[in-house]
Amino acid sequence: MRKVMISALMLVVLFALAGCGGNEAADSGGVKSGEVTIQMKNMKFSPAKVTVKKGTKVTFVNKDVILHDVVQVAVKDYGKMEPGFESKEVQSAGTWSITMDKVGEFPIICTQAAHFTAGMVGVITVVE
Ligand SMILES: [Cu+2]
C-alpha cells in the first residue's frame, strides 16, 4: 500500500524539488562529512538539500510540536538501489539518525498527514 502511494507521490516530490532550484537557503552548500543535522521545522526539512560523503551520519531533529517522519522515495532510474529507508514517527523534540553508506541521490519526504504536499521534501546526495 505504501509503495503504491509513494510511487504516486514522486511527481509531487520532483515538482517540489524543481521549485527549490535557485533557493540558496534550501541548500546547505558544499560536501559535508562526519555528522550532519537536518531540522524538521515549520513543515520543512532544513536544509532541504544536502550533499554528504559516504559514511556520514545524518540526524533529523524534530523542532515542531507535531509528528514528522523521513521516508526515502524510490526513483525508477535508481532501480539498482536498495529498498528505501523509512524512519519511525519522530516525536516533537525527538531525533532519528541514519548513516548514509551508499553513494547516490536519495529523495526524502515526510508522509505524516501528507506533509510532503506542503513542501516537506528534500534530497540527500551521497558522494565518495
Ligand atoms: Cu512532517
Positive or negative CA dihedral for 114, 39, 86, 18?
positive
The rounded distance, in Å, linking the Cα atoms of 95 and 78 is: 28
What residues pack around ion ligand 1 (CB closer than 5 A)?
68, 110, 112, 115, 120
Average pLDDT for residues 73-79, to the nearest whole number? 59
Domain containing residue 116: CATH number: 2.60.40.420
Lowest mean pLDDT among 25-34, 60-69, 114-123: 25-34
Give me ligand 1 centre to Cα 77, in Å: 26
Q: Identify the pLDDT of residue 75.
A: 58
Give the domain extent around 106.
2-127
Domain total in the chain: 1
Give me ligand 1 centre to Cα 126, in Å: 23
What percent of the chain shows pLDDT beyond 90? 67
Please tell me which residue, 58 or 11, carries the higher pLDDT value: 58
- pLDDT reading at 117 higher than 60: yes
Q: Identify the pLDDT of residue 94.
A: 98
